[in-house]
Structure 1
Amino acid sequence: MMKSALLVIDVQDSFLHRDEWSDDDFPAFSASLCRLISGCERLGIPVVDIFHVSEGVFAPDSGYVKRMSFLTHTAAKTVQKHVHSALAAASLSDWLTEEAIDRLIICGMRTEQCCETTARAARDSGFDVQFISEATLTFAMQWQGQAYTADEIRQHTGMVLNGRFADVLTVEECLQRQGLC
């Protein structure tokens, strides 16, 4: 029987103060994330808050490296990371080993960046990975003169992760699978 942990990656006030911030997808994201967290709590799955710490609005003294106000859960563990992968934080890796966690459920902010990087590192480290795309948030981007919507970026991330690095699931699919284990 697999033991899971939910990683809530970078859902922090820092993003509210970035130029790329957009409220467009936020209501759907926050509703999905709250359903996922509540479901995991009901199933006894520990929730881990992960915060990105660096410079500017991500600096600890900025006052923005804190959980967004819509989140009200109690975290089993809180971790700060300085790179994209949450698994690079020794305190998280140690805790996952101590708790005998072998499945990571990944959600959070910057779908294609910290969430995707963590999923790839997790699978390479031997974890079973569930990536809950509807409980991730990102923002529109441009590259080589082409505009990409947040949804296109989420779709691309799901495509490249699914079956290779993670099972890309909806909130309901994830919770149903946890209930069967």
Structure 2
Amino acid sequence: MTATVLLVIDAQQSFYHRGYLETAETPDFEQRLSQLIAGCEARKIPVVDVFHVEQDGPFSLASGLVKRLPFLRHQAAATVRKHVHNALTDSGLDAWLRERQVKNLIISGLRTEQCCETTARVASDLGYNVTYVTEATLTFPITHQGITLSIADLRHRTESVLANRFATVATVAETLQTLA
């Protein structure tokens, strides 16, 4: 049994049917996430797919869109569905991890500042050691009260609030090197 698991959070086709479009960052995200997954698989680190599910719309099971983004080809050790912003509440994932004595979580997926960040915070509170691989996450600009936060702004904010509090923020290369 391994003490580490890679979580691929919400890397699902639903997002592109709710008005989110590919961004200039999408190709780098796909490359980095693919590298992270391949590196974990080569080191026998289990990969867990986490999908967000809602009652209606593109995130509903009936939509047929709650499935991996097309570039992902890995073999998941487990697949869980969540209905909230973090992957550990009411999904069965926390129990699955504890049964396998997992202590370390690597976070990747969609959206950087929402489900990925929220999962990192909850995981830390539950006692997991968290590695947050920002370059293996993707997000989209957010506008609130007339102010738009860019992808770079959102990434910086997420890294700033997670680092040295809830997670170790690392690149794909740094993460894989610590697993060697």
The alignment's TM-score, normalised by the length of structure 1, stands at 0.96
How much does 1:146 deviate?
1.1
Check whether the contact 2:80–2:91 (CA below 8 A) recurs between aligned residues.
no
CA-to-aligned-CA distance 1:39-79 (integer Å, 9 cap, x gap): 00011100000000003100000010001110000000000
Counterpart in the other structure of 1:114: 115
Check whether the contact 1:79–1:89 (CA below 8 A) recurs between aligned residues.
no
Quick check: 1:40 aligned with 2:40? yes
CA–CA distance in structure 1, aligned partners of residues 9 and 50 of structure 2: 5
Counterpart in the other structure of 1:105: 106
Residue identity matched to 1:80:
R
Check whether the contact 1:108–1:115 (CA below 8 A) recurs between aligned residues.
yes
CA-to-aligned-CA distance 1:4-51 (integer Å, 9 cap, x gap): 000000000001112132332110000000000000001110000000
Counterpart in the other structure of 1:171: 172
CA–CA distance in structure 2, aligned partners of residues 168 and 63 of structure 1: 34
Unaligned residue ranges in structure 2 (runs of 5+): none
Aligned residues: percent identity? Answer: 51
Residue identity matched to 2:28:
A
Q: How does 1:34-73 map to 2 (within 5 A)?
A: 34-54=34-54, 55-73=56-74
Q: Name whichever of 149-158 and 86-95 sits farther off.
A: 86-95
Counterpart in the other structure of 1:25: 25
Check whether the contact 2:81–2:91 (CA below 8 A) recurs between aligned residues.
no
CA-to-aligned-CA distance 1:54-108 (integer Å, 9 cap, x gap): 0310000001000111000000000000001101134211110111100000000
Unaligned residue ranges in structure 1 (runs of 5+): none
CA-to-aligned-CA distance 1:102-138 (integer Å, 9 cap, x gap): 0000000010000000000000000000000000000
How many residue pairs match? The answer is 178
Check whether the contact 1:51–1:80 (CA below 8 A) recurs between aligned residues.
yes
Counterpart in the other structure of 1:5: 5
Quick check: 1:160 aligned with 2:156? no
Partner of 1:16: helix, strand, or coil? helix
Counterpart in the other structure of 1:15: 15
Partner of 1:11: helix, strand, or coil? coil
Partner of 1:155: helix, strand, or coil? helix
CA–CA distance in structure 2, aligned partners of residues 90 and 140 of structure 1: 28
CA–CA distance in structure 2, aligned partners of residues 72 and 66 of structure 1: 11
Partner of 1:75: helix, strand, or coil? coil
The alignment's TM-score, normalised by the length of structure 2, stands at 0.96
- Cα distance 1:79–1:168, how it changes in 2: closer, same or farther (>3 A)? same
Q: CA RMSD in A?
A: 1.0
Q: How does 1:130-169 map to 2 (within 5 A)?
A: 130-169=131-170
